Amino acid sequence: MLFFTQCFGAVLDLIHLRFQHYKAKRVFSAAGQLVCVVNPTHSLKYAPTLCAAAQTSVEQGVLPPCHHHEAVHDPQLVPCTCPLFSCPWEGHLEVVVSHLRQTHRINILQGAEIVFLATDMHLPAPTDWIIMHSCLGHQFLLVLRKQEKYEGHPQFFATMMLIGTPTQADNFTYRLELNRNQRRLKWEATPRSVLECVDSVISDGDCLVLNTSLAQLFSDNGSLAIGIAITTSKVHNAEGEM
């Protein structure tokens, strides 16, 4: 009986996992795409961030403290690029991936085209869904954030950041695609470098932006499937089409 119970539990887990993958593949017509189920995480850093503080100081004509910080430390050091936490870590760009995986437990998925399946879209803002994407010899950071840009009106922001320099980022084009119920929405743009602040990218709206009703239109039982494709390109354009 014990053996039967353990086997039955394993079968149920396998069926549940297969069902999660099937839900994402059903949304996209391309068979065989890699599917990553991403659970939400409530951000722990939504006190004023370093990026926001620096931007405010510049607007007021006051140099932020980080300018003095850079003068003392190695200018090649970059801060932690994880948007979830106010992490004090600094390091060289080459070890950012190791830091994100080991310290913040961010998963990494490989493949030119994948499906990012974000669960529990109904949770209150601020909430983040994050994964690393390894493709074409580089690593990218996909950030989906639910945030209230205006009080009482949460929105979803999705962007792709290259874990590399801005010059390297210019060599790529990423595409985010939603496809459900005979409706399709696509965003295509050049990724930004993680040397830039994720918060600034979202504040500028240089990313895929969905209001709550639009997100619900493309969601399936509280989960949002986003198809991701990355190509090498020199073309700098951004478009949103429906």
Q: Among all chains, which residue has been given the structure tokens 């039955």?
A: 8
Report d(CA 237, CA 28) in Å as an integer: 24
Residue 37 has pLDDT above 50, yes or no: yes
- At residue 121, the pLDDT reads 93
- pTM for the model: 0.71
Mean pLDDT score of the chain, rounded to an integer? 76
- At residue 226, the pLDDT reads 95
- At residue 219, the pLDDT reads 94
Q: How many CB atoms lie within 10 A of CB 165?
A: 12
Q: Which residues contact 169 (CB under 8 A, 6 or more apart)?
A: 162, 190, 191, 192, 193
Structure confidence by residue, pLDDT tens digits, 81-97: 787 677 888 888 888 88
The secondary structure of residue 122, as a DSSP letter, is T
Average pLDDT over residues 142-159: 91
- SS3 state at 61: coil
Give CATH for domain 31-39+78-232: 2.60.210.10
Q: How confident is the model at residue 72 (pLDDT cuts 50, 70, 90)?
A: very low
Residue 222 has pLDDT above 60, yes or no: yes
